[in-house]
Structure 1
Amino acid sequence: MPSPFIEEIRRDMRLRGYAIKTEKTYLHWIRRYIYFTDRRHPAETGANEVREFLTHLAADKKVAINTQKIALNALVFLYTKFLNIDLGDLNFTLATKQRHLPSVLSPIEVQRVLSHLEGRNKLIIQLLYGSGLRVNEALRLRVNDIDFELMTITVHDGKGRKDRTTLLSTSLITPLKAHIDQALLTLKIDNEKGLGPSLPTALAKKYPNAYRTAGWAYLFPASGYSANPYDGTLCRHHLHDSVVRKFLAIAVRQAGMTRKKISSHTFRHSFATHLLQNGADIRTVQELLGHNDISTTQIYTHILGSHYAGTASPLDRLGSR
């Protein structure tokens, strides 16, 4: 039986409009923290216990720094937003992580993978590479997020709960319009059954017939119906990211590229790297990717070696001697 306290936190997060994925992640770390403190109520613990837990993750569990940051974010939400308790300066041990350069494909390698995909599957990967989207950003796209006049894609509630716009490749106009027609056909069939796409709770309450509006149709709807996690109503959600992992793995094997680690995120990395390679300004790339800190975007200059611009290897200076 679910803990009443955890369910209360869940309800609070839904009132604040947090994504289901964020909700699950935060609740996971809050549970782990509660078990770490011998199941004491968080109101009875505080900064000292949080500091010990975060240090435990780094020193004993050897988690990556990003994992530790997620745990920290979950506990900051728990205390500052849910319990209204100020944690102050935690001064905990930071997890350490060596910098790993992301895997990037050459334009020819991107084309090799795409050549083993077709239809919907090919379009998803083309959007990841052509617009620098994260996989879930692509799968959550709705018809009204595509602007063929401005040639832009609007990403709503991306990482960090931010909205942004990014490029729409002109080569995708025809296949995207054809795919939208298919998505609207799915919407029509659903509407005839009194069903439609999953919608934000506040929107569904304010506009009860919004599920019939073409603009709210998902570009990549799931094959079946499911219960809306917010209110339990039957609806059609977007495609699950596990579908992308499966068909991409097959395409990579068929392309004979098993020596390189390739995931859906590889195409976002390739988008950024190829833009910089072609002379794009790094701050423009930062904006298109939705990075808060330009240092995150600068990792791609290390892939290019552009931070060594004008520096020649001493071996080259030997000439033919």
Structure 2
Amino acid sequence: MATIKPPRTEQKVIRPFTKQQIADLLTTCGDSPTGLRNRAMILTMLDTGLRVSEMAAIQLKDMDFDKETIIVMGKGAKQRIVRIGHKTQESILRYLLTRQDECPALWLSTTGTDLSTEGIKVVIRELGKRAGLTGVRCSPHTFRHTFATQSLINGAGEFEVQSLLGHSTLTMTKRYTASLRSEYAVQEHKKFSPVDNMRL
């Protein structure tokens, strides 16, 4: 057995949300208390790249609007700090103003209890159906992919993205980089296509 090589795991191209798909998801939210919660959840996942389990575990005490940060408990009980942008903060505050409860959790279900990991997945899946999204998996993990991809496009370094995502090594982070380079190469092919440039 020691001489047998393990089978290679399939590496699929990571497909993040497009800007239009994000806009379509946000449009479905509306201005009801539940809609404001959903909008805040979408923007938080998009702005931080948090795992769905980390999203579900956020407590109000973990939020620091003065420092624009959230304290997150990640895999292996490793704590880290992530930042939220101004639009995300505004969206969370609008949601919190609709609440009249003493629950310590940030995200609440429509029944007033903590929104679970599975609950968040269901919310995002249903929003995707209502928005009519196709060609992309509508899940919290896709927001994580989108955060990583957009951060790299906007100039973030691999080590910065690794730290914010809570990856213990660069291996997983490099998957996002490889996916981005692949997409960029496809676009640049319009310039260097051998056949088109030969004018056959």
2:91 to 175, 178, 186: 175
* Alpha-carbon distance in 1 for matches of 2:61, 2:7: 41
TM-score (norm 1): 0.52
2:108 to 218, 221, 235: 221
In structure 2, stretches of 5+ residues that fail to align are: 30-34
1:254 to 130, 141, 151: 130
User: Which residue is 2:46 aligned to?
Assistant: 129
* Alpha-carbon distance in 1 for matches of 2:55, 2:140: 11
TM-score (norm 2): 0.80
* Alpha-carbon distance in 2 for matches of 1:105, 1:172: 17
Contact 2:36 2:94 in 1 (8 A): no
* Alpha-carbon distance in 2 for matches of 1:305, 1:125: 26
User: Which residue is 1:109 aligned to?
Assistant: 21
User: Which residue is 1:301 aligned to?
Assistant: 177
Superposed displacement of residue 265, structure 1: 0.7
* Alpha-carbon distance in 2 for matches of 1:154, 1:316: 53
CA 304–119 in structure 1, closer or farther in 2 if over 3 Å, else same = same
User: Which residue is 2:72 aligned to?
Assistant: 155
Structure with higher Rg: it is: 1
* Alpha-carbon distance in 1 for matches of 2:194, 2:15: 28
User: Which residue is 2:62 aligned to?
Assistant: 145
User: Which residue is 1:75 aligned to?
Assistant: none
Q: Does 1:186 align with 2:101?
A: yes
Superposed displacement of residue 152, structure 1: 1.4
* Alpha-carbon distance in 1 for matches of 2:172, 2:3: 24
What amino acid is aligned across from residue 78 of structure 2 in structure 1?
K
Superposed displacement of residue 181, structure 1: 4.3
When the two chains are superposed, the root-mean-square deviation of aligned CA atoms in Å is 3.1
* Alpha-carbon distance in 2 for matches of 1:265, 1:303: 15
Superposed displacement of residue 163, structure 1: 0.8
| Helix, strand or coil at the partner of 1:109 | helix
* Alpha-carbon distance in 2 for matches of 1:244, 1:316: 48
| Helix, strand or coil at the partner of 2:107 | coil
Q: Does 1:276 align with 2:155?
A: no
Superposed displacement of residue 284, structure 1: 0.6
* Alpha-carbon distance in 2 for matches of 1:91, 1:293: 27
* Alpha-carbon distance in 1 for matches of 2:127, 2:109: 21
* Alpha-carbon distance in 1 for matches of 2:195, 2:70: 45
1:166 to 76, 82, 93: 82
| Helix, strand or coil at the partner of 1:160 | helix
* Alpha-carbon distance in 1 for matches of 2:199, 2:115: 58
* Alpha-carbon distance in 2 for matches of 1:164, 1:92: 40
User: Which residue is 2:12 aligned to?
Assistant: 100
User: Per-residue displacement from partner, 1:225-275 (whole Å, max 9, x unpaired)?
Assistant: 8xxxxxxxxxx5x21223223332222122222332221110111011001
- Residue correspondences, number: 192
| Helix, strand or coil at the partner of 2:55 | helix
* Alpha-carbon distance in 2 for matches of 1:294, 1:316: 37
User: Which residue is 2:32 aligned to?
Assistant: none
User: Which residue is 1:77 aligned to?
Assistant: none
Contact 1:131 1:169 in 2 (8 A): no
Q: Higher mean Cα deviation, 253-262 or 138-147?
A: 253-262
CA 91–316 in structure 1, closer or farther in 2 if over 3 Å, else same = closer
* Alpha-carbon distance in 2 for matches of 1:136, 1:169: 21
Contact 1:103 1:262 in 2 (8 A): no
What amino acid is aligned across from residue 161 of structure 1 in structure 2?
A
* Alpha-carbon distance in 2 for matches of 1:318, 1:98: 34
Identity of aligned residues (%): 26
CA 257–152 in structure 1, closer or farther in 2 if over 3 Å, else same = same
For residues 41-56 of structure 1, the aligned pairs below 5 Å read none
